[in-house]
Amino acid sequence: MTRFFSILDLYLLRSATRAVAGAFAIISAVILLIQFEELSRSVGVRTDAAVSDVLWLTLLRSPSLILLLSPFMFLFGGIAAYVSLNRSSELTAMRAAGVSAWRFIAPSAVLAFTAGVFVVAVLNPLAASLSARFEVERARLMQNYLADAPKEVWLRQGDDRGLIVIHAKSRDLQENAIRLRAVSMFVYQKDPEGRLQFRRRIEAAEAVLRAGLWNLRDVREAAPGQSAVRSDSLSIRSALTADGAVERFASPEAVTFWGLPAAIRQTELAGFSARALQLRLHQLMATPVLFAAMAILAAASSLRLARQGGLALAVGVGTAIGFLVFFFNQMTGALASADIIPPLLGAWAPPLVALLSGLAVLCYTEDG
């Protein structure tokens, strides 16, 4: 009997894997086509970008969008797998052999949870790095287009000894470097009581952040009550890295899962709100639960025997619930970003609601 269930589990796991892979291929193809068309319109028409440039931007941008829609892969894949088993009467045979629905849903739930862990730990860092590269490449292509010209920049870097407020007229994102133009730096130091005291102001024609240093060119600096001092160049240590500064300009989705804790600490230390980064961290941590919930919801909505009728209605209800969960996830994320609800609630409420919905449908279907 143990061997029978082992073989059964492997068979169900193989069926679910094939269906999820098919859903992944279809969703990925649709996203690639839509992104190529959108970038062709927003970038290709406004610049001299070649088709190869637009295609490269599409390949850089699409992975993060594919991961955003990845819960639907387990929803649609799970529905396809279990509807196929249902219509071929395999579910009927399993029930006749005394196999509980809780038993043959477990493989797809375990697959989804494991895939969620893999997505967060491995694929998210890859997609985030590609998204950050997309920001750089798009800025490079659009730098001569007036409507997308870089706007004024404000940055802050700080530690337990002081704070530097940085203002620049424009910015240029480069690989492994940030270039600011018409820069003003306001340097503050903490007194023994921890209060910030203004020490000096630095003006520079250009500032480049690379390898933990601000390299300034054509510099003029002045302290209160003193005359200005000019110099050709000046280097200032920075708590920011080039990647960290890019994260200030880019969306939280461009920050890797493993880099989020450090980004949150740096952002809070510099005096900025890290709410968006905290929300992103909790959303990623909740991803395996969301995937498993979608898989359970898909299976639970596909268990009604085809010969009893109503299978299409049950599948439609399950799909509708899945879409509602996705939009609920987006809504709670927006509320958390707007400081209306805590990031913890905004990130974890949708996966838990989806999980409870799937279990409720399963209990109603299986136990009446």
Q: What is the pLDDT of residue 148?
A: 47
From first to last of the 368 residues of the chain, give the pLDDT tens digit.
444 456 777 888 888 899 999 999 999 999 999 999 888 887 766 667 778 888 898 998 899 889 988 999 998 988 888 888 877 777 777 777 777 777 778 888 889 999 999 999 999 999 988 887 887 788 777 765 544 455 677 777 776 677 788 888 777 766 567 788 888 888 888 777 777 788 889 999 988 887 778 889 899 988 887 888 888 888 888 766 655 555 555 567 777 888 888 778 777 765 567 788 889 999 999 999 999 999 988 888 777 665 555 667 777 777 888 888 888 988 998 888 888 889 999 999 999 988 888 888 777 766 65
Nearest one of 83, 71, 65 to 115, comparing CA atoms: 71
Contacts 24+ apart (CB under 8 A), 19-22: 19/77, 19/78, 19/80, 19/81, 19/84, 20/73, 20/74, 20/77, 20/78, 20/81, 20/111, 20/112, 20/115, 21/77, 22/77, 22/80
Amino acid at 45: V
Q: What is the pLDDT of residue 291?
A: 93
Q: Which CATH architecture has domain 160-238?
A: Sandwich (2.60)
CB 300 within 8 Å of CB 109: no
Q: What are the structure tokens assigned to 259, written together?
A: 């880099």
User: Number of H helices and number of E strands within the chain?
Assistant: 12, 6
| Alpha-carbon 252 to chain mean position | 7
Round the CA-based radius of gyration of the chain to a whole number and report it.
Answer: 26
Helix, strand, coil in percent for the chain, rounding step 5: 65, 20, 20
Nearest one of 189, 194, 244 to 214, comparing CA atoms: 244
Structural domain spans, the chain:
2-143+277-367, 160-238
Phi first, then psi: give them for residue 170, nearest 5 degrees: -155, 165
**Sheet containing 196-210, strands listed edge to edge, beginning at the edge strand earlier in sequence:** 153-158, 162-174, 177-190, 196-210, 213-222, 229-237
Buried b (16+ CB within 10 A) or exposed e, 262-285: ebbebbebbebebbbbbbbbbbbb
Q: What is the pLDDT of residue 367?
A: 60
Phi first, then psi: give them for residue 341, nearest 5 degrees: -130, 160
Q: What is the pLDDT of residue 21?
A: 92
Residue 51's CB: how many other CB atoms inside 10 A?
10
- Determine the 3-state secondary structure of 186 from DSSP: strand
| Alpha-carbon 263 to chain mean position | 14
| Alpha-carbon 44 to chain mean position | 25
Give pTM, 2 decimals. 0.74
Q: What is the pLDDT of residue 361?
A: 76
